[in-house]
């Protein structure tokens, strides 16, 4: 089975729990992340092993990354619907 490449949208507290669970799955890897705060994004990206080129401060750019198979939305609840629709439309 090929690896499943996952992007994490939002790198706050809940994202760390998702990261831990994803890392426990042999066939899955977090390959991209988004946060509007570059500092938080870089701290998360360093720990997760995400290349700098795959760390985004623009959600739409993350959604255009062509090797992603799925995203995990770790934003405040009131932001879920719009980002979920954007992710769905991005494929």
Residue-wise DSSP of 9-39: E--SHHHHHHHHHHHTSTTEEEEEEE-S-HH
The answer to whether 6 touches 71, Cβ cutoff 8 Å, is yes
Q: Which pLDDT value is given to residue 89?
A: 93
**Could you tell me the CATH number of the domain that includes residue 74?**
3.40.50.720
Q: Which pLDDT value is given to residue 1?
A: 60
Report the mean per-residue pLDDT for the chain.
Answer: 95
Q: What is the pLDDT of residues 68-83, one digit of tens each?
A: 999 999 999 888 999 9
Span 19-25, average pLDDT: 96
Q: Record the pTM.
A: 0.93
- Enclosing domain of residue 20: 4-90
Q: How many domains does the chain have?
A: 1
Q: What is the pLDDT of residues 28-69, one digit of tens each?
A: 999 999 999 999 999 999 999 999 999 999 999 999 999 999
Q: Name the nearest CA neighbour of 45 among 56, 59, 36.
A: 56
């Amino acid at each position: 089975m090929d690896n499943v490449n996952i992007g994490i949208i939002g790198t706050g507290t809940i994202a760390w729990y998702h990261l831990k669970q994803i890392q426990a799955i042999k066939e899955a890897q977090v390959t991209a992340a988004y946060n509007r705060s570059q500092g938080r994004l870089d701290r998360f990206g360093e720990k997760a092993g995400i290349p700098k080129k795959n760390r985004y401060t623009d959600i739409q750019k993350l959604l255009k990354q062509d090797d992603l198979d799925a995203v995990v939305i770790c934003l405040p609840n009131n932001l879920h619907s719009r980002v979920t629709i954007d992710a769905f439309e991005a494929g």
